[in-house]
Amino acid sequence: MAKEAKNESKELTVEQKLKALYQLQTMLSEIDKIKTLRGELPLEVQDLEDEVAGLNTRIEKIKAEISELKSSIAAKKIEIESSKASVEKYKAQQENVRNNREFDFLSKEIEFQTLEIELCDKRIKEFIVEEKSRSEEVLSSNEALEERQKDLAVKKSELDEIVSETKQEEEKLREKAKVLETTIEPRLLQAFKRIRKNSRNGLGIVYVQRDACGGCFNKIPPQRQLDIRMRKKIIVCEYCGRVIIDPELAGIEIEHPSAK
């Protein structure tokens, strides 16, 4: 089938090629209009979806940090209990020492464990303050998330409504454009798409308007205009690179001044 389509495209006259190209342009312009109707909504929806995903990730990360802080607080409390038990043990041992050297050693151990308790208490207070701060962050992030989710729901609803109204029409145009593309030789089609992509208004083929290119509006010399009307070869604007056809081929009626 692909080979047959390729052969058919080779058998087309220049006029038929230009006509097919202009028909394709018309269909693609209609699709562009549908996209314009949707405006910035698809981008706004995408941005909101990214923001919602980012907030969810942030909330999960903060919750993990809170969980870690709670574990650290619990661990420090266990260390305090262990140090308190050691202090009680060393105090009991001091009552049965045989010399000053043993007493001093136990005193230093009691002092060390007491300092450990104070340090753990200090760290627990720091962890509690940090946990409170992180919990507040979760609350504010959840509020922001709720607002963004509401905005997203509204924007999605607007987009879905527009898409549902235009989807069928767009699909039909895309199918017709796809079929039409098979009748145009690949090199010409590729060049047309490249010009269209680089064009601000999305036009890759234009017709002559008041002796000028319908794309960039630069004047076209008389001989070149004649070549365009002859439809014997594909003429490209030397200024903007667009393919130029005569108005009649585009189905445009030109009013000629009546002779007096």
What are the beta bridge partners of residue 212?
209, 219
Q: What is the pLDDT of residue 93?
A: 92
Q: Which residues of the chain fall short of a pLDDT of 70?
A: 1-10, 253-260
Q: Quick one: 97 and 189 in the same domain?
A: no
DSSP code per residue over 231-250: TSS-EE-TTT--EEE-TTTT
Kindly report each contact of residues 134-137 with a partner whose C-beta sits within 8 Å and lies 24 or more positions away, as own/partner: 134/62, 134/65, 134/66, 134/69, 135/66, 137/62
Q: What is the pLDDT of residue 66?
A: 96
**88 alpha-carbon distance from chain centroid:** 64
Q: Quick one: 104 and 73 in the same domain?
A: yes
Q: Quick one: 117 and 192 in the same domain?
A: no
Domain CATH for 201: 1.10.287.1490
Q: What is the pLDDT of residue 132?
A: 95
Q: What is the pLDDT of residue 2?
A: 45
pTM: 0.55
Q: What is the pLDDT of residue 223?
A: 92
